[in-house]
Amino acid sequence: MLFVALLVVTCLLIPQLSPFYSGHSQNSLSMLKTRYFDRLGLVETDLDSNPTAENLSKLIEAHVTKIPFDNLAQHGAVGGPATLDMETTAQKLLDRNRGGFCFELNGLLGEFLTQLGYKVLRAPSYIFAPDLSDFRDYPTHVVLIVTVPHDDTKWYVDVGLGEPPMQPLRLEMDTPQVTVEGMESRFVQDGENIVLQWKKSGAEWAPRLKWNREDGLRDPGPSLNDFQDNLDYVHGDHCIFAQKLVVCLLSRTRKITLAGRRLKITTPRFGPESQSTYQIVETATEAREILYREFGMPLEETKGLDLQKSASAGKEIWESM
């Protein structure tokens, strides 16, 4: 009887495993919500127990405003390569004020939204490459398909695209949607694929990424661990991320990008009055100071930063910046 009682107590004390579980200790993620809200500068009690479309929108805008897209780990910054372990990623993004790329940013956000009560599915995605005038032939990206409780509406959520929409997009075909920063987006169906397009200042609709429609509907969808091969591919020397350093942070009116040895600031981001200024970054020391000043990254996080691969990358590598 004592054994049975102990077994029942033990089972009650073990937390339920999230579908995003990837080998980390669940206890280590027990404070994820508090850490996340602190990093986003949002009041936890205002949003924690109320998973709505409106609150989802607030979370996504705060995320892309506070947490940059970056691939610094592939260019000498401290902390080692990106990982699918969510506690390691949480320490990097939330505790050490770093950024990351899609598998980190969307991976951790998916865990956070799940803890808040949203339903989250993931779909492997193919990025459109202007240098190829086509989609890349391997899924180097992951998007989130999010559903609000008691509502069947599906939302496209993506904080890891570099310059994603600053709000969730309703997953409806052929319907232009304008988000708060002025970005115009729409989804179109192309055979078995869903394609995200955007439209810039008088230009034609242009593709950004695609995923297989069924991948976005499969429930349960793939676990985060299922993206290990995709992450390994991105870590490869052949991948564009290994060849150029990119750090990007957004607001409604401003986009700031450090791409290799060039700092680019665009404001306003969209519309006929949009303008960009450029600055050449001469040294890694100067780049580290910019990362601290403009992106809020502690100097100790960028020790060892190396701009050599970016400096030697061919012109075609930068066409998709």
Q: Which of 24, 63, 158, 248 is catalytic?
A: 158
Rg (CA), the chain: 20
For residues 249 and 239, what is the distance between their CA atoms, to the nearest angstrom?
22
Cis before 220? omega within 30: yes
Rounded to the nearest 5 percent, the helix, strand and coil shares of the chain are 35, 25, 40
- Residue 248: active-site member: no
Tokens of 144: 């989130």
For residues 140 and 9, what is the distance between their CA atoms, to the nearest angstrom?
43
CA-based nearest residue to 263, from 243, 278, 274: 278
Alpha-carbon torsion, ordered 286, 289, 291, 296, to 10 deg: -170
Quick one: angle between helices 32-40 and 102-116, nearest 10?
A: 120
DSSP state of 217: T
Q: Which of 24, 63, 75, 141 is catalytic?
A: 141
For residues 92 and 99, what is the distance between their CA atoms, to the nearest angstrom?
7
- Cβ contact 123:97 at 8 Å: no
- Residue 137: active-site member: no
Q: Which of 24, 63, 102, 248 is catalytic?
A: 102
CA-based nearest residue to 90, from 109, 73, 75, 72: 109
Its sign, for the CA torsion 225, 53, 171, 35, is negative
- Residue 158: active-site member: yes
Q: Which residues are catalytic?
A: 102, 141, 158
